[in-house]
């Protein structure tokens, strides 16, 4: 048996956000320069150029309130950032502009990130946490008209995380709650389809793979749990894996469905095979909690990077399982 | 009348000449002829019934006596064995058995060794084996109103029958044949009694009257003499099975027991209930005797339950079940319950009776309660409640874990019976063998009883077989269980086993050995940092790490540790387990011990002062004592490489787990053992000599602890309610004393300690008494002999009397054994001292 390879080092590290990094988003689809957006605790959004590895721009739109989610909107080339000032800002970044075109009030005081769904129907939906801690509001982004409000009947506690995706029947949404349950919502009818008690502790993060109808959720304890949506649209527990140290702040499945990365509270990024949650690598670099992990959507497979943002104010960029 | 007197004269005239011949003639043929004449009058002879009766009444004994006296005569020896058996033995076996027995026994006890004695013994044996005793009993049964037997004769026969093995053994000593030994004899006797009872039944069915008076007396007397065990072992099972189907037998057996004189009935009943399994058996055999006989009532409702406690649980179950079984007897059950309740809830009984007895009474209480039905419980509810509250409370106050647990278990069981399901008592205790047994008493019993009766049948069916096969089946099922699932595959889901297999395998994992449990904080590296963290940090992890490293840091940096030793001790003493750190007490204790060892004088001074100061919890005071003891122990041991660091910790762990008292004694015993072993081995490599670090500082440990014990404070009353601490204090002092062996200060210490414990030697709490005795042991062990005697001289006699008294009558077993130990030590001291020549100088 050959000795296992030592884990790789990061390709490079981005410093200079001057605050803990909360959230990351790649933007590499357009030709030209690949970008990485990062939201920091001080309320700034840094736009990193991955070619020269420098911050191109710094967007400040949340009055110093921590930015917890950023996203690009492909259809309109807009950019969204969600801050803890209870607002989601819609930015226009065209041609060097950096202006907030308008902002949406969420009313949420929690840490739940928004979820964006760009369906083929040219209708972009945005799910937002709302004023009631357990409520989800879904609105149409372009017209800013609310579509649905999703409130669970039973006591499941605060909304912790969610992910909206398109299914054959229409948009669905997976939401994780404080009591450890994951609820599958039918957005068009505004009713819950299934509920799964996936964790004993609050669900901290989840991600969903539409191709396999399979999702994964992490909690503040030591387990990662994967579940599937069966043909009756019921959630079913599938697999679980035990971590060495408790706490996962974000999970991200790579677009090709081969691996999933977990941002751990112990400062490590763990990589698992997505099929069976086989542990593949433990990337040790950060000295503090890793808040966010993201995969690049670069059209060239070999250029697809992974980035991890940490409380130690650094963003590490890795190239892992990107050959072949 | 005429005929009778006619027969009398006739028989006398016929017998008298023959007897003369037998006693005086030298002609053996003539003698034989004479005997053959007399034989007609015996059973099976051809004389008339009235002649036989007359012969039996007036002449038989005389004939036997003459025969016995001829044992040494020539004709006896010249008789061939066959004839001898017929002519000589026949007389004993074919006449009235009572007279024969008396003559035989008289002969045996008065004849000196020789062939005559041997012959008589063999005749006695054949007398027994021919069932003549049974005949005797039966003949007595038939005399319902006939011959007014002289009381003396009756009494004599009774005595002879009941103590036959003793009488013969007195004479024959080691040559006694097996049949005459108690084992065999009394078993046979029981069988004879049974046969007699059977005859009685038969006679009663035939309409004939019988008297069981003699049999009952015999039974009583035998049991009284302590052979009840042997008799009832045979008697009880048979009676149980015979009475099951036959009402007449039931009547006969009740009658038999009723006829046992009062003075013996207790021993009969006790022996009987030991061998009857199950309440229904007892009920069949005894009937309602308990209601008729005051003595039996006293034995069953009081003596067996409350005064004795050596009986097995089965017996309790039998007796109480017996009381509960019949409607007439149920009032007695209630009465029993009342008195048991009273005893159980009596706090003085808790303090002054032994644990075994308390357990026994608890069992009785539970069994009693279990037998009551709902209405009776409602009726007795108030009393039971009082009993439960009082009893549980005074048990929970006890310093012995054993007693506390007993209180909790019984309390729970009672509450279960008394209260609604929502408001039942619930305690937290560790279940052990005993608590499980107590709990099992609350289960309904009916099946078991039947089982018992079946077991009573003397076949030893191979019962364990099904069990063992069950076990093996279990084992197989265990074996066939799949090996533990690996951590990732909690569920072998059907979905993953489709086409997409193996796609994970193209991704080779990286080395993940570096993935380890992360510790957020780093342990402190300096003593002062450690102190700082313990004093003011709010970070649980930092506090925990500091506590974990404290001992190591202190021992490594001795000079720094000396600078802050008292402050560090203070912080540790006041440290609370805010974050429920694993092994908190152990860690804190070992750190405090390290401090006390490194900088002995100031730290020990601080601790001993704090022991008596205000505003400490009992736990903290106990901690102080433990730390002092462990520190003294470590100081008194020679310094060893590194091991010394881990040793106290290991001991401290056991200390946390078990009761403190045991711990100290174990430690000391271990030490004593290790010492004696070293001396006896002798040749083994002698340890390197090193000065004892404890001897010079022993006084700092010892005397301050004796300073203030009699000054009660608001929060701490050592001689009052805080006897837990007092017990621990005395133990610690004893240990400090023991460790100070060979130190110059030992004499003063011993003197002071004896003075101290003398005042509390009759303390009500057994923990304290144990401590006192332990301290006395330590003094006797460590104080130099001559000083000890000098010191004790005035009180020597009193001390010995006290120790002897404790050794004999203390309810606590440990106290007794410790007292014995101290007595032995004292005697040894005395002996060596009196023998030593130094005394004379």
Phi, psi of B72 (to 5 degrees): -95, 0
Contacts with B487 from chain A: Cβ below 8 Å: 241-242
Instruction: Report yes or no: B518 at the A interface, CB cutoff 8 Å.
Output: yes
CA distances (Å), origin B508, targets A256, B503, B504, B566 = 17, 11, 8, 58
Q: Provide the shortest C-alpha distance from residue A220 to chain B (in Å).
A: 15
Q: Residue B563 contacts by C-beta under 8 Å, 6 or more apart in sequence?
A: none
Residue of B nearest to A227 (CA): B493
Given an 8 Å threshold on Cβ–Cβ distance, is A4 in contact with B510?
yes
* Distance set, CA A221 to CA A198, A244, A246, A288, B485 (Å): 12, 10, 5, 17, 20
Gap from B516 CA to chain A (nearest CA, Å): 6
Q: Is the pTM of this model over 0.90?
A: no
Residues of A in contact with B493 (CB under 8 A): 228, 238-239
Average pLDDT over residues B29-43: 82
CA distance A308 to chain B (A): 18
Whether chain B has a CB inside 8 Å of the CB on A273: the answer is: yes
Q: Among B497, B498, B507, pick the best mutation site for testing chain A contact (most A Cβ within 10 A).
A: B507
B515 touches chain A (CB under 8 A): yes
Minimal CA separation from A160 to chain B, in Å: 25
Q: Which of B495, B504, B511 sits opposite A7 (nearest CB)?
A: B511
Contacts of B500 in chain A (CB under 8 A): 275
- Judged by a CB distance cut-off of 8 A, whether residue B689 touches chain A is no
CA distance B513 to A281: 10
CA distance B2 to B8: 10
**Separation of alpha carbons A166 and A119, rounded Å:** 7
| Average pLDDT for B483-497 | 41
Q: Residue A31 domain-assigned?
A: yes
Q: Is residue A43 part of a domain?
A: yes
B491 touches chain A (CB under 8 A): yes
Write the pLDDT tens digit of every residue in B354-395: 888 999 999 999 999 999 888 888 888 888 888 888 999 989
pLDDT digits (tens, 9 = 90+) for B175-205: 888 888 999 999 999 999 999 999 999 999 9
Question: A185 has which bridge partners?
Answer: A173, A192
Distance CA(A158)–CA(A151), nearest Å, equals 11
Query: Which positions in chain B touch A8 (Cβ < 8 Å)?
Result: 510
Taking CB atoms and an 8 Å cutoff, what residues of chain A touch B496? Answer: 238-239, 275-276
B490 in contact with A, Cβ within 8 Å:
yes
Q: Say what the pLDDT of residue B478 is.
A: 41
Phi, psi of B799 (to 5 degrees): -60, -45
For the segment A294-322, the average pLDDT, to the nearest whole number, is 90
DSSP state string for B21-61? HHHH---HHHHHHHHHHHHTTSTTSSS-HHHHHHIIIIIHH
Hey, what are A139's tokens? 């609105």
The reported pLDDT for the residue numbered B626 is 93
Q: Which residue has the tokens 């093995």?
A: B165
Q: How far is CA B242 from the centre of its chain?
A: 34
Whether the CB of A4 is below 8 Å from some CB of chain B: the reply is yes
Give the pLDDT band of residue B773 (cuts 50, 70, 90).
Answer: very high
Mean pLDDT confidence for B204-214: 88
Q: Which residue has the tokens 């506090």?
A: B543
- Please check whether residue A259 touches B, CB under 8 A: yes
CA distance B594 to B580: 22
Distance CA(B736)–CA(B698), nearest Å, equals 7
B residues 783-802 near A, CB within 8 Å?
Answer: none
Mean pLDDT, chain B, whole residue set:
81
Of B493, B511, B517, the CB nearest to A239: B493
Residue at A213 is within a domain: no
In a domain, A94, yes or no: yes
Of the candidates A239, A241, A280, the beta carbon closest to that of B509 is on: A280
**In a 3-state reduction of DSSP, which class is residue A209?**
strand
* CB contact burial A278-293 (16+ within 10 A = b; e otherwise): bbbbbbbbbeebbbbb
Q: Please give the pLDDT value at position B579.
A: 85
Q: Is B23 exposed, middle or buried (0-12, 13-18, 19+ CB in 10 A)?
A: middle
Is A211's Cβ below 8 Å from some Cβ in B? no
Q: Does B493 touch chain A (CB under 8 A)?
A: yes
How many Cα atoms within 13 Å fall on the side-chain side of residue B239? 34
Q: Is residue A87 part of a domain?
A: yes
Q: Which residues contact A164 (CB under 8 A, 6 or more apart)?
A: A115, A116, A117, A125, A127, A138, A171, A172, A173, A174, A187
Express each pLDDT in B408-450 by its tens digit: 999 988 888 887 777 788 888 888 888 888 888 888 765 444 4
Tell me the percentage of chain A whose pLDDT exceeds 90. 64
Report yes or no: A106 and A112 within 8 Å, Cβ to Cβ. Answer: no
Whether A58 is covered by a domain: the verdict is yes
Task: For chain B, say whether A289 makes contact (Cβ under 8 Å).
Answer: no
**How far does the CA of residue A18 sit from the closest CA of chain B (Å)?**
23
pLDDT in tens, B583-642: 899 999 999 999 999 999 999 999 999 988 888 888 899 999 999 999 999 998 887 654
Chain A contact for B495, CB < 8 A?
yes
Q: Is residue A187 part of a domain?
A: no
Q: Residue A281: which of B490, B504, B510 has the nearest Cβ?
A: B510
B contacts of A268 (beta carbons < 8 Å): 515
| CA-based nearest residue in chain B for residue A247 | B518
Provide the token pair at B230.
């042997």
SS3 (DSSP) at B769: helix
Distance from CA of B536 to the nearest CA of A (A): 25
Token pair 């077991």 is found at B455
Other CB atoms within a 10 A radius of the CB of residue B177 amount to 14
Q: Does B487 touch chain A (CB under 8 A)?
A: yes
To the nearest whole Å, the CA of A55 is away from the closest chain B CA by: 31
| CB-CB under 8 Å, B496 with A239 | yes
Highest mean pLDDT among B189-203, B669-683, B827-841: B189-203
| First-to-last C-alpha distance (Å) of chain B | 98
Q: Which domain holds residue A48?
A: 18-105
Nearest CA in chain A to B498: A275
**Interface touch A275/B496, C-beta < 8 Å:** yes
State yes or no: pLDDT of B488 exceeds 70. no
Average pLDDT over residues B720-739: 88
| A5–chain B Cβ distance below 8 A for any pair | yes
Q: What is the DSSP letter of B506?
A: G
Q: Do A244 and B515 touch (CB under 8 A)?
A: yes
CA B172/CA B117 separation, integer angstroms: 9
Number of domains in chain A: 1
- Considering only CB atoms, A321 lies closest to which of B489, B507, B518, namely B507
Contact yes or no for A244 and B516 at CB 8 A: yes
Q: In the prediction, which pLDDT does B645 show?
A: 41
Question: Closest Cα of chain B to A146: distance in Å?
Answer: 37
Calculate how close chain B gets to A151, using CA atoms only, in Å.
31
Q: What is the mean pLDDT of residues A122-133?
A: 89
- CB-nearest to A258 from B491, B493, B507 is B507
Tokens 């409607």 -> residue: B327
> Which residue in chain A is spatially nearest to B519 when comparing CA positions?
A266
Query: Mind giving me the DSSP string for A215-248?
Result: EEEEESSSEEEEEEE-TTS-EEEEEEEE-SSS-E
Among residues A199, A221, A118, which one has the least CA distance to residue A164? Answer: A118
Q: For residue A18, is pLDDT > 50?
A: yes
A116, β-bridge pairs: A126
Residue A35, domain member (yes or no): yes
The residues near A281 (Cβ < 8 Å, ≥ 6 apart) are: A7, A8, A270, A271, A320, B509, B510, B512
Residue pair B452/B277 in contact by the 8 Å Cβ criterion: yes
- Distance in Å, alpha carbon of B561 to nearest chain A alpha carbon: 33
Among the ranges given (A267-271, B59-63, B156-160), the one the predictor scored with the smallest mean pLDDT = B59-63
Mean pLDDT of A213-236: 92
Q: Are A316 and A286 in contact (CB under 8 A)?
A: yes
Kindly identify which residue of chain B lies nearest to residue A323, measuring between CA atoms.
B507
Lowest-pLDDT choice from B27-36, B360-369, B464-473: B464-473
Q: What is the CATH number of the domain that holds A45?
A: 2.40.10
B489 interaction partners in chain A (CB closer than 8 Å): 239, 276
User: Distance between alpha carbon B414 and the CA centroid of its chain, in Å?
Assistant: 25
């Amino acid at each position: 048996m050959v000795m296992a390879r030592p884990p790789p080092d990061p390709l490079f590290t981005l410093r200079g956000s001057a605050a803990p990094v909360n959230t990351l988003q790649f933007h590499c689809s357009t030709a030209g320069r690949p970008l990485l957006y990062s939201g920091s605790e001080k309320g700034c959004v840094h736009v990193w150029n991955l070619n020269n590895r420098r911050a191109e721009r710094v967007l400040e739109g949340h009055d110093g309130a921590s930015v917890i989610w950023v996203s690009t909107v492909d259809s309109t080339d807009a950019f969204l950032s969600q801050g803890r000032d209870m607002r989601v800002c819609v930015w226009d970044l065209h041609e060097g502009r950096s202006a907030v075109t308008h902002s949406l009030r969420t009313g949420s005081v929690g840490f739940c990130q928004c979820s964006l769904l760009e369906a083929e129907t040219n209708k972009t939906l945005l799910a937002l946490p709302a004023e009631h801690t357990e409520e989800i509001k879904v609105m149409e982004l372009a017209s800013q008209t609310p579509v649905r409000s999703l409130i669970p009947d039973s006591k499941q506690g605060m909304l912790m995380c969610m992910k909206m995706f398109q299914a054959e029947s229409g948009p669905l949404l997976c939401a994780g709650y404080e009591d450890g349950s994951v609820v599958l919502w039918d957005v068009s009818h505004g009713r819950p389809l299934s509920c799964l008690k996936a964790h004993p502790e609050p669900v901290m993060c989840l991600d969903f793979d539409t191709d396999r109808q399979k999702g994964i959720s992490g909690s503040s304890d030591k387990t990662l749990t994967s579940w599937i949506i069966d043909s009756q649209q019921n959630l079913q527990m599938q697999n679980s894996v035990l971590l060495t140290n408790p706490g996962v702040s974000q999970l991200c499945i790579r677009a090709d469905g081969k691996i999933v990365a977990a941002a751990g509270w112990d400062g490590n990024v763990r990589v698992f095979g997505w099929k069976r949650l086989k542990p593949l690598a433990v990337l040790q670099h950060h000295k503090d909690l890793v808040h966010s992990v993201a995969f690049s959507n670069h059209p060239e497979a070999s250029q697809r990077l992974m980035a991890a943002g940490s409380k130690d104010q650094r963003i590490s960029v890795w190239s892992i399982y990107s050959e072949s | 009348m005429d005929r009778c007197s006619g027969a009398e004269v006739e028989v006398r005239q016929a017998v008298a000449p023959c007897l003369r011949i037998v006693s005086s003639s030298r002609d053996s043929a003539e003698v034989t002829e004479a005997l053959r004449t007399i034989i007609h009058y015996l059973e099976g002879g051809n004389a008339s019934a009235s002649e036989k009766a007359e012969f039996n009444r007036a002449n038989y004994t005389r004939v036997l006596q003459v025969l016995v006296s001829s044992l040494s005569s020539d004709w006896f020896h010249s008789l061939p064995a066959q004839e001898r058996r017929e002519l000589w033995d026949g007389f004993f076996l074919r006449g009235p058995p009572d007279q024969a027995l008396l003559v035989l026994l008289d002969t045996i006890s008065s004849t000196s060794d020789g062939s005559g004695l041997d012959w008589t013994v063999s005749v006695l044996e054949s007398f027994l084996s021919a069932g003549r005793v049974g005949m005797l009993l039966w003949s007595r049964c038939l005399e319902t109103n006939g011959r007014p037997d002289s009381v003396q004769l009756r009494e004599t026969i009774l005595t002879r029958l009941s103590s036959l093995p003793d009488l013969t053994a007195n004479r024959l000593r080691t040559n006694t044949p097996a049949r005459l030994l108690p084992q065999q004899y009394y078993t046979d006797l029981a069988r004879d009694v049974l046969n007699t009872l059977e005859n009685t039944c038969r006679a009663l069915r035939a309409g004939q009257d019988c008297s069981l008076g003699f049999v009952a007396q015999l039974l009583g007397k035998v049991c009284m003499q302590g052979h009840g065990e042997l008799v009832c072992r045979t008697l009880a099972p048979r009676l149980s099975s015979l009475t099951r189907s036959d009402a007449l037998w039931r009547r006969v057996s009740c009658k038999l027991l009723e006829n046992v004189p009062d003075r013996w009935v207790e021993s009969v009943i006790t022996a009987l209930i030991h061998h009857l399994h199950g309440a229904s058996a007892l009920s069949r055999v005894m009937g309602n005797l308990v209601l008729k006989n005051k003595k039996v009532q006293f034995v069953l409702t009081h003596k067996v339950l409350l005064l004795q406690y050596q009986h097995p649980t089965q017996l309790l179950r039998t007796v109480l079940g017996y009381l509960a079984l019949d409607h007439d007897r149920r009032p007695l059950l209630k009465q029993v319950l009342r008195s048991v309740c009273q005893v159980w809830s009596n706090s003085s009984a808790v303090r002054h009776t032994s644990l075994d007895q308390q357990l026994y009474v608890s069992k009785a209480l539970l069994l009693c309660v279990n037998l009551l039905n709902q209405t009776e419980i409602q009726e007795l509810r108030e009393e039971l409640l009082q009993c439960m509250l009082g009893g549980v409370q005074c048990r929970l106050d006890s310093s012995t874990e054993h007693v506390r647990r007993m209180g909790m278990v019984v309390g729970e069981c009672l509450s279960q019976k008394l209260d609604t399901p929502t408001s039942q008592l619930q305690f937290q205790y560790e279940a052990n063998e005993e608590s499980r047994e107590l709990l099992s008493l609350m289960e309904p019993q009916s099946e078991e009883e039947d089982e018992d009766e079946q077991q009573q049948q003397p076949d030893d069916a191979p019962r364990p077989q099904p069990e063992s096969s069950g076990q093996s089946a279990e084992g197989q099922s265990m074996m066939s269980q799949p090996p533990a699932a690996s951590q990732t595959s909690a569920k072998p889901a059907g979905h993953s086993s489709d086409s997409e297999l193996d796609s994970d395998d193209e991704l080779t994992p990286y080395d993940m050995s570096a993935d380890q449990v992360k510790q957020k904080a780093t342990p402190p590296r300096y003593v002062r940092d450690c102190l700082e963290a313990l004093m003011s940090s709010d970070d649980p992890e930092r506090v925990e790490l500091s506590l974990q490293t404290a001992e190591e840091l202190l021992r490594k940096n001795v000079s720094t540790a000396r600078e802050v030793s008292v402050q560090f001790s203070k912080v540790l003493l006041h440290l609370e387990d805010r974050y429920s750190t694993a092994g908190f007490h152990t860690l804190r204790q070992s750190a405090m011990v390290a401090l006390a060892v490194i900088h002995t004088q100031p730290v020990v001074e601080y601790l001993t002062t704090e022991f008596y100061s205000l505003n400490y919890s009992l736990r903290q005071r106990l901690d102080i004592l433990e730390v002092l003891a462990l520190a003294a122990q470590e100081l008194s041991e020679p310094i060893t490489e590194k091991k010394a660091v881990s040793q106290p910790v290991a001991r401290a762990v056991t200390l946390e787990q078990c009761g403190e008292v045991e711990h100290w004694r174990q430690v000391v015993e271990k030490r004593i053992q290790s010492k004696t072993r070293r001396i006896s081995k002798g040749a083994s490599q002698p340890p390197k000599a090193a000065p004892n670090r404890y001897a010079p500082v022993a006084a700092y440990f010892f005397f301050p602890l004796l300073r203030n014990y009699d000054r009660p404070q608001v929060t701490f009353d050592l001689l009052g309610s805080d006897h837990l601490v007092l017990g621990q204090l005395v133990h610690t002092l004893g240990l400090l004393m023991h460790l100070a062996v060979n130190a110059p200060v030992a004499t003063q210490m011993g003197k002071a300690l004896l003075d101290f414990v003398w005042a509390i030697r009759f303390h009500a709490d057994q923990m304290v008494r144990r401590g006192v005795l332990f301290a006395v042991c330590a003094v006797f062990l460590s104080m130099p002999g001559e000083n000890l005697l000098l010191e004790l001289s005035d009180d020597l006699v009193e001390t010995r009397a006290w120790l002897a008294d404790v050794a004999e009558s203390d309810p606590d077993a440990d106290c007794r054994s410790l007292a014995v130990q101290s007595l032995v030590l004292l005697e040894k001291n005395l002996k060596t001292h009196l023998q030593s020549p130094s005394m004379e100088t």
